[in-house]
Structure 1
């Protein structure tokens, strides 16, 4: 019974984190592994379990959906789904050791981008012409990452978008939750068909994530933008530190 409560609590916290900024899998994944689920299966199970919370957050945020970097949502959704398919197949077909080694450095780049994006974004846009194809290309890569591992993909999306487009980070929450949910939709379908999901654990974590995602999305709508930005940066720093400690200890 204690294990069930812990899984549900991890899902609630992870769902709330995903609704506010992302990174919820860094709560659910370690708990699943600690409960005895093998790492690859734990990654797939975590994606499935957090999906209801992400979907509920996307529903709450639906009124705030808007184009990203001047690109309408339908093509962004299309490349995200394609990237999610490619990434999920890569996870099922390839070892994750190399990606685990790169992941802390990718998160470090995302953290720096989030922290200094307000200054780097205008400077980058003055020197480069960021067109529709560039935005779609970046989103495809993020979709691949979301399908393959997915950890803090919401943080990385907001980091990339803050460079490509001058927008309040709080306003990015609605399209972020939609794109993360899209990448996860195709990924969990692949994971389920491959038999990589521990459905008993996913049920308990997913129930908590559904409640956490709904609560977190409502909280994100009323929090002031500076608070959301500060919390996002703090979370990104914590996740990056955890990844470096986890891999290099």
Structure 2
């Protein structure tokens, strides 16, 4: 079984995001970029499935700018076997929307014929949380979102997923789309020897035009603003004063 893992290049989660002065978007100049953390978890899970003998090949795919090669090399260094880069934008500020990404991934799936697509739950830059669901609809495959445990049993996957009320275990028929939640696993660090080996692993480069997909944005960003600064707290001597203060502010 092949496992396909889409990965996205995003601002590193340790970096404080800056908004452009004109409010047109996020400033990406000289900002450290890395793999989306949820996608890292998906890559790790795919590699574990291979190590357990439940998958034969792990393929990482990224859709965006040429610089996403670095992200794919990280996936290869972690243990993916090969990678596909679909160049769909020239400007790093251009974010390919989930529907366009899903359409391209559907074409890649038709070519590669994987038995499982493992995605991250969402990207930390736009928090759309839509690509996996859209891909499932386009392919007509089953889906299991927000997984925190995955077991492959023959032609089915048993997935424990996180829902508002707690945990839910479902059984889906393969091929399927599964999205990784935060508690699915702890991604490994790529060792130096594996980083060197990753440079020799195959990385195919294609374009959105090769798949006949229009990536023209359907959404327009009107304005980007930073959140309001958190107000300083206030210490009160007792509960009665606290209740009185809350009443003043209309909180109770």
Which structure has more relative contact order (CA 8 Å, sep 6+)? It is: 1
Q: TM-score, normalised by structure 1?
A: 0.28
Larger radius of gyration: 2
Q: TM-score, normalised by structure 2?
A: 0.28
Higher helix share: 1
